[in-house]
Structure 1
């Protein structure tokens, strides 16, 4: 005989606040590969490029940051 199914637990309904990008707050339009201080803010302590969900960048900004970091290396 089959067991009755348990109802799934409801989510708490709490959503996380979307992080605002550094590029938007400082109104930076172009990410220059020579601007080392800016690029360091998008890297971890192990020099890995931080993800979009961590930095708050949109797709285009994240691509610009990634290309600039790779060029700077």
Structure 2
């Protein structure tokens, strides 16, 4: 006796796969497999973020200058960390150039390495 469930190549030797709909994904609701989803598939209230374009590419900047602190400071967080590409929208080529420019600006003290210095008071 041969059934469809026993002839699947993804089944192991024991056939320990739980029974479910074909395709391997459980159907949770009417909206694209999500519980409580909408018929269109996209949950209500969620907006798809717009693709950001690289500001350096738009302005046709080939070299990121470490002396241009106003432009560089936008890509450094309030905790003095370099912001990632997914947050700033800078392309990979300009992110590498930006990292080098920020490091150079830090070495000559144009941009701080840390957010603020707080020295603990020493009690004797």
TM over 0.5: yes
In structure 1, the residue matched to 2:88 is 55
TM-score (norm 2): 0.49
Contact 1:23 1:57 in 2 (8 A): yes
TM-score (norm 1): 0.78
Q: Deviations over 1:6-57 (max 9, x none)?
A: 4142752863211122213333221011111111011111111011011111
Could you say which structure has the higher helix fraction?
1
Looking at CA atoms only, which structure, 1 or 2, has the larger radius of gyration? 2
Contact 1:49 1:66 in 2 (8 A): yes
Contact 1:32 1:68 in 2 (8 A): yes
Aligned residues between the structures: 72
Work out whether 1:23 is the aligned partner of 2:53: no
Q: Distance in 1 between matches of 2:95 and 2:79?
A: 18
Out of 12, 33, 45, the position equivalent to 2:66 is 33
Out of 97, 100, 107, the position equivalent to 1:64 is 97
